[in-house]
Amino acid sequence: MKHLTILVPNGENNLSSIVGAYKILTRANEFWKAGNRPPVFKVELAGSCEKVEFYEGLFAVKPHTNISALEKTDFVIIPSLNHNYKRAIQENQDLITWIAQQYRNGAEIASVCTGAYLLASAGLLDGKSCSTHWIAADNFRMVFPKVNLQPDKLITDEKGIYTNGGAYSFLNLLIYLVEKYFDRQTAIYCSKVFQIEIGRQSQQEFIIFKGQKQHDDDMVKEAQSYIESNLHEKIAIEHLSARFAVGRRNFDRRFIKATGNTPLEYLQRARVEWAKRAFENNRKTVNEVMYEVGYSDVKAFREVFRKVTGISPLEYKSKYNR
């Protein structure tokens, strides 16, 4: 039987990912044992304090054990953090050191949502793929530039390290882990009991594109504002770079460095975000919305929309407009 540790970081972080992980894994164990098989995991909560309070003292978690008493574990789950990531890192240096040590000792590690900040702070994500909540993506890239961030991915699985996207998508990560460490039937059982859609791979359609502006390049910020103000017009990137008296190659280079996207990708994402809001809030047809965001080719619009959201314009409209 493997030992699985669900961490309880210091600070008012996310309670639901701690409770949800505990409930699903213990239920998977119960289902497994009902088939006259020994439990797969011994599940324990561990932290560096005897008690951690949440939501201004409304709830509290008392971990089973302290990390100082836990020399070795086989699997570690890092829950989601609150939005003060810098403070969470500062308050949990002991946990970060312990996580790195456990990985060196052979443990596998899974981070939930913004728990990736603790995982990356341990140095375990450098050069590896990682996902986190799309809201935190720009900040995460800035803090951890050596990490291959892929916020469109719901789950990443690389060299014994698992990460997942935002908020309650941690439920999908847990079903993924149940299937990997128990079996498919147990994963299906848990997905039915907790009513979690099995097999989800992307969080693309949930991303709200607000523009990547956590940078200091004023020229790029001006170009971004111009793009966002002229989505309905035909914008040629060559003309855009000339507008700012910058050569095309240098313009692209500065834009990518500042935003993580090429100018064309940024234009596409901004147009698709406008189209998404139009589909959500009015009864216009796909063609009408397509023309309003500067496209005249249905196939091209459909391909770009699917590339950004993971689904077609019609599927998006049917799902989000009632």
Reported as a single tens digit per residue, the pLDDT across 123-141 is 999 999 999 999 999 999 9
| Within-domain flag for 212 | no
Beta-bridge partner residues of 46 = 7, 65
Beta strand 52-54 pairing with 59-61:
antiparallel
pTM for the model: 0.87
Take residue 90 and report the two structure tokens written for it: 């500062």
Are 175 and 254 within one domain? Answer: no
Question: Which residues of the chain are under the pLDDT cut of 50?
Answer: none
| Within-domain flag for 210 | no
Round to whole Å and give the CA distance between 175 and 28: 9
Looking at residue 225, its pLDDT comes to 95
Domain-ending residue, one of 152, 176, 204: 204
Q: How far apart are the first and last CA of the chain?
A: 49
| Within-domain flag for 101 | yes
| Within-domain flag for 224 | yes
Are 187 and 297 within one domain? Answer: no
For residue 243, what is the domain's CATH number? 1.10.10.60
Are 179 and 228 within one domain? Answer: no
Take residue 14 and report the two structure tokens written for it: 């996310």
Model confidence pLDDT, tens digit, residues 206-226: 999 988 888 999 999 999 999
Place of tokens 């008012």: 12
Looking at residue 177, its pLDDT comes to 97
| Within-domain flag for 227 | yes
Looking at residue 241, its pLDDT comes to 94
Are 195 and 225 within one domain? Answer: no
Model confidence pLDDT, tens digit, residues 251-267: 999 999 999 899 999 99
Are 180 and 241 within one domain? Answer: no
Looking at residue 322, its pLDDT comes to 78
Looking at residue 212, its pLDDT comes to 85
Looking at residue 186, its pLDDT comes to 97
Q: How many domains would you assign to the chain?
A: 2
| Within-domain flag for 48 | yes
Please provide the average confidence, as pLDDT, over all residues in the chain: 95
Are 249 and 187 within one domain? Answer: no
| Within-domain flag for 44 | yes
What is the residue range of 294's domain? Answer: 218-320
42-45 long-range contacts (CB < 8 A, ≥24 apart) are 42/1, 42/2, 42/3, 42/4, 43/4, 43/6, 44/3, 44/4, 44/5, 44/6, 44/70, 45/5, 45/6, 45/7, 45/8, 45/18
Looking at residue 246, its pLDDT comes to 92
With contact defined as beta carbons under 8 Å apart, do 135 and 169 qualify? no
Are 31 and 180 within one domain? Answer: yes
Looking at residue 83, its pLDDT comes to 86
In this structure, how many other beta carbons lie within 10 angstroms of the beta carbon of residue 56?
A: 7
Are 129 and 51 within one domain? Answer: yes
